[in-house]
Structure 1
Amino acid sequence: MNSYMNKWATLGLILLLSACKSISISTDKPLKEMPPDFEAYADTTNIANLSWREYFGDTTLVRLIEQAITDNPDLSIAQQRIEMARADVTFTKGMLLPVVDAAGFAGQARTAEFSVNWAGNEGGQFLSGDPLRPAYTDYFIGLQSSWEADVWGKLKNRKKAALSRFYASSEGRNWVVSNLVADMALTYYELLSLDENLEIIRETILLQENALEVVRAQKEAGKANKLAVEQFETQLLSLKGLEKETLQEITVVEYRLNLLMGHYPKAIQRNSFAFEDSVALSVLPGVSSQLLVNRPDIRQAELDLMATKADVKAARAAFYPSLGITAGFGYNAFQPQFLFRSPESIAYNVFGNITAPLFNRSAIKAEFNFNKANQVEAFYNYQKTLLEAYSEVSLEIRNIRNLQERYELKSSEVDVLTSSIDTSSDLFSTGRASYLEVLITQQNALQSSLELIDVREQLYYSKVKLYKALGGGWR
């Protein structure tokens, strides 16, 4: 007996050693550390901790964003990814538990009389006294169960991977919300900027029309020639063309806003006073370590990395012997009237089995190597996400600083050129300035005003981009 047991123990050890050969899972790589702060900002006060309603403040923009969060198609798709991941978690949890099925069958068979299975049964009879025949019927109804003992943690690690991916899908939805809020704000400010451009253009058109009337009057009086009138008319036509172009751009931006909100094209309400002349931005980025908590894409990349690590462990466990248990219990009889007799028709079985891959393990090795490579890819993706996040914040901080300086200079330039329009008009009326000087002054003033609006728009863009880069917008 002991000799018999020793043989089985030796066989089991051989199976285990052969299964465990050459399956190292060491794939960890050093992570590049982020600098501790942004541009010498060491204060932990962080604008990302503000809700987007509080950060933007404009009630019109807030209402539009609320509509987008409710109806945006991409956000609805992200929600369904969460539901799929949730279902996968439920599936992997179920794999850890025994499977119990209700089963039943009825059939007829005939055993060949010259077969080994029939030999020796001639003249036999059932417990009921019925004779045994080569042709017989058989009926069963009961329960059947199977269960794989998770000795090496294969199923447990699959559950961990599914759970990590579920949390990653939730973070993915948060990142979609953050991007949606930022896109809505950026597009809204673009629309306000175009409104400002249109207003400036129309004011310039009025000035040009008045100037054209003056030139025509001077031509009638012999103080100006036809060329001057044509130059003013050409400039007026150019401005009206620019007005139409701006109106088309407004239509396109309104279309994009409607698309983000999941609506068909319609006019967008906006608060023109939100695009005020003075733009003062508070740059409160906090410290770089807060990105790990505030940015959903970083947390998503981290959870994806955790999932791939669990996948590797589960793939490694496939090399080890697996232990399974199957069992059945029910009623079995050759005639329906005997099926539910107890204890004569009661049947049950319990079997235990152990299997281990020995030869032709290429499929298992391929899956293991695939998961190892997938883990390394997830690591690099996590490193890349950290690098991009820090770089985005650092870039926007510098951008805001430069834009604020540009805005101050451009504002002074606009003030000077706006004043020069009145000066050139007065001089032209008294004959001390040419019509070309008036045209050039108006063109320069218009161009400078449009550039000022563009710088102001870029400042608002940086305000939104910095907020998103720091991880704001999803709360």
Structure 2
Amino acid sequence: MLRLALAAALTLTACAGPRPDIPRTAAVTPPAGWRTPATGIAPIDARWWTAFGDPVLTDLVTRALAANPDIFTAAARVEEARAGLRLARAQRTPTLSAGAPGTAGQSVSPFGTPSDAFGAQPLLQASYDLDLFGRLRQANRAAAAQLLASEGARDTVRLAVASTVASSYIGLRALDLRLAVARQTLAARAEGLRIARRRAETGYTSNLELHQAEAEYRATEQLVPQAELAVARSENAIGVLLGANPGPIPRGLPLDRLAAPPIPAGLPADLLRRRPDLFQAEQALVAADRTLDSARAAMMPNVALTGSAGIVLSTALADPIGVFSLGGSILSPLFDGGRLRAQADVAAARRDQAAYAYQRAALTAFREVDDALAGVRRSGEQAVALAGQRDALAAALRTASNRYRAGYSGYLDQLDAQRGLLTAELTLIQARADRLTAYVALYQAFGGGWRREDVKNPSP
């Protein structure tokens, strides 16, 4: 149902064929409440990460959004696009220039007496492109769309940084739990090794059980430094996301106490319109379409108005002389070797690329939402099954240990139960982490989550 609703909600502007028919405005438009007059697109600040109920996670994401280098880079690209828009607007305004060329020479009086003469001609010139065929107007619109696309790219980076920090923190808490399980298991293996050594020394069992217990202890011992290394690497990766040097990361709630956010029974498909990457692809398509119109308009005649005014000052003249001129020019390309036609073809090809990129962005949005929903559901089912397996193996280990101490069974039965329990515990930790990570992916797939007023009847 959700896939059908999503497919019906977004109308893809790209279609099959060598030249897709592109409308003047793209079909996918964020809701009016998502935009702001100042920037055109609201930043991702829904604070969806607070739904996990961990203040430390909230603080980490907040710090990352304030200091991540990738966000600064994306913000600089927005400023570049804003400057490009100012440049495009300046092309449509009249240009005004001034100059004062000077001359020096000799003049001859009526009596034949030469004398030095100095002169200057202050001049003010103005020109204006009428832009009858919309070349500059379309370029201005393309720059405006490019600015909105850059803002969408910035918000895409912000959303990705927040999601990566949340996923990395969940992974870090899972590694902490794996390390704790490894240490607990190592302590249990040490106790088993002590019992096996005592039984071997008293001659109650052979050295085979002693060597088996020692091998199992060493196998578990190597899990501790392995988990510690993974923890250190995860902390360093989170430090980079925070724009800080590698170092320890504070901890909050353990993995099993992180809240699983409730998912509404029916998520509205309009939430996909809040995805900043879709908005970016839409505006890139609009910019490419306007650039194509500008390239086609460049093949038409260019009409410009020019004017100048000034005075002539010279020692050879009794009074200054005023000069002015007013005129126009029409410049039309007659032969350029196909340059303008090639530029228009390049713009058309880029417009087609933007159309297909927009189509791919929409299809990717469908897939990511469906993957995230399936991940939440299936990883939850897997965690429930693994929890049951873990409980059963724990009971089997207790029985095997009691029988081994009483002499009713061999060490191999206890060893198998220990191995099975360790594997089940580590797999259960990973399944719980995967489920929480799937929630993060779902929030990211919907462009930053949803508000309570967006949906009804939320269900866990």
Q: Residues 391, 154 of structure 1: CA spacing in aligned structure 2 closer, same or farther, 3 A cutoff?
A: same
Partner of 1:403: 379
Q: Contact conserved, 1:178 with 1:474, CA < 8 A, in 2?
A: no
Partner of 1:8: none
Partner of 2:180: 199
Structural mapping, 1:294-305, within 5 Å? 294-305=274-285
AA in 1 matched with 2:391: D
SS of 2:348's equivalent in the other structure is helix
C-alpha distance in 2 between matches for 1:130 and 1:57: 103
- Supply the RMSD in Å over aligned alpha carbons: 3.0
Q: Contact conserved, 1:193 with 1:275, CA < 8 A, in 2?
A: no
AA in 2 matched with 1:90: R
C-alpha distance in 2 between matches for 1:273 and 1:393: 27
1:146: how far off? 1.4
- Say whether 1:390 aligns with 2:370: no
AA in 2 matched with 1:276: R
Q: Contact conserved, 1:27 with 1:372, CA < 8 A, in 2?
A: no
1:32: how far off? 13
Partner of 1:222: 203
Q: Residues 27, 407 of structure 1: CA spacing in aligned structure 2 closer, same or farther, 3 A cutoff?
A: closer
Q: Contact conserved, 2:174 with 2:255, CA < 8 A, in 1?
A: no
Partner of 1:58: 54
Structural mapping, 1:217-366, within 5 Å? 217-276=198-257, 282=263, 286-292=267-273, 294-335=274-315, 344-360=320-336, 362-366=338-342
- Say whether 1:423 aligns with 2:371: no
Q: Residues 196, 283 of structure 1: CA spacing in aligned structure 2 closer, same or farther, 3 A cutoff?
A: farther
Q: Residues 463, 415 of structure 1: CA spacing in aligned structure 2 closer, same or farther, 3 A cutoff?
A: same
C-alpha distance in 1 between matches for 2:271 and 2:122: 61
- Say whether 1:445 aligns with 2:427: no
Deviations 1:358-395 (A, max 9, x none): 12251111111111111111100000000000111112
1:90: how far off? 0.7
Deviations 1:118-145 (A, max 9, x none): xxxxx998xxx89899x97542224221
AA in 1 matched with 2:192: A
- Say whether 1:159 aligns with 2:159: no
C-alpha distance in 2 between matches for 1:276 and 1:427: 35
Q: Contact conserved, 1:177 with 1:474, CA < 8 A, in 2?
A: no
Q: Residues 29, 305 of structure 1: CA spacing in aligned structure 2 closer, same or farther, 3 A cutoff?
A: closer
Q: Residues 474, 158 of structure 1: CA spacing in aligned structure 2 closer, same or farther, 3 A cutoff?
A: farther
- Say whether 1:185 aligns with 2:178: no
What is the percentage of aligned positions where both structures have the same residue?
A: 26
- Say whether 1:370 aligns with 2:346: yes
Partner of 1:413: 389
Q: Contact conserved, 1:146 with 1:324, CA < 8 A, in 2?
A: yes
C-alpha distance in 1 between matches for 2:111 and 2:249: 88
AA in 1 matched with 2:156: W
Q: Contact conserved, 2:255 with 2:433, CA < 8 A, in 1?
A: no
1:57: how far off? 3.0
Q: TM-score, normalised by structure 1?
A: 0.81
Partner of 1:141: 122
1:285: how far off? 6.2
Higher relative contact order (CA 8 A, sep 6+): 1
AA in 1 matched with 2:136: L
Q: Residues 182, 78 of structure 1: CA spacing in aligned structure 2 closer, same or farther, 3 A cutoff?
A: same
C-alpha distance in 1 between matches for 2:158 and 2:289: 28
Q: Contact conserved, 2:295 with 2:344, CA < 8 A, in 1?
A: yes
Unaligned runs of 5+ in 1: 1-25, 35-47, 111-122
Q: Residues 274, 283 of structure 1: CA spacing in aligned structure 2 closer, same or farther, 3 A cutoff?
A: farther
SS of 2:254's equivalent in the other structure is helix
AA in 1 matched with 2:276: P
Q: Contact conserved, 1:174 with 1:474, CA < 8 A, in 2?
A: no
Deviations 1:226-260 (A, max 9, x none): 12111111111111111101100111111110111
SS of 1:100's equivalent in the other structure is strand
1:399: how far off? 2.3
SS of 1:168's equivalent in the other structure is helix
SS of 1:286's equivalent in the other structure is coil
AA in 2 matched with 1:308: A
Deviations 1:264-320 (A, max 9, x none): 11100111435438857525562334312x100001100111111111111111111
C-alpha distance in 1 between matches for 2:246 and 2:259: 32
C-alpha distance in 2 between matches for 1:187 and 1:95: 47
SS of 1:102's equivalent in the other structure is strand
- Residue of structure 2 aligned with 1:82, choices 78, 85, 103: 78
C-alpha distance in 1 between matches for 2:20 and 2:390: 60
Return structure 1 stretches of 4+ with deviation > 6 angstroms: 30-34, 129-133
- Say whether 1:455 aligns with 2:436: no
1:53: how far off? 4.2
SS of 1:152's equivalent in the other structure is coil
Partner of 1:119: none
Q: Contact conserved, 2:261 with 2:439, CA < 8 A, in 1?
A: no
Q: Contact conserved, 2:175 with 2:230, CA < 8 A, in 1?
A: yes
Unaligned runs of 5+ in 2: 1-18, 29-43, 452-460
C-alpha distance in 1 between matches for 2:45 and 2:370: 18
1:193: how far off? 0.6
More divergent stretch after superposition (344-353 vs 171-180): 344-353
Partner of 1:99: 95
Partner of 1:73: 69
SS of 1:353's equivalent in the other structure is strand
Q: TM-score, normalised by structure 2?
A: 0.84
Q: Residues 62, 280 of structure 1: CA spacing in aligned structure 2 closer, same or farther, 3 A cutoff?
A: closer
C-alpha distance in 1 between matches for 2:189 and 2:340: 79
Tell which structure's C-alpha radius of gyration is larger.
Answer: 1
C-alpha distance in 2 between matches for 1:258 and 1:397: 29
Q: Contact conserved, 1:329 with 1:348, CA < 8 A, in 2?
A: yes
Q: Contact conserved, 1:175 with 1:474, CA < 8 A, in 2?
A: no
C-alpha distance in 2 between matches for 1:165 and 1:199: 51
Q: Residues 283, 448 of structure 1: CA spacing in aligned structure 2 closer, same or farther, 3 A cutoff?
A: farther
SS of 1:324's equivalent in the other structure is strand
1:192: how far off? 0.6
AA in 2 matched with 1:419: A
Give the number of aligned pairs.
Answer: 417
C-alpha distance in 1 between matches for 2:371 and 2:384: 20
AA in 2 matched with 1:331: I
AA in 1 matched with 2:344: F
Partner of 1:45: none
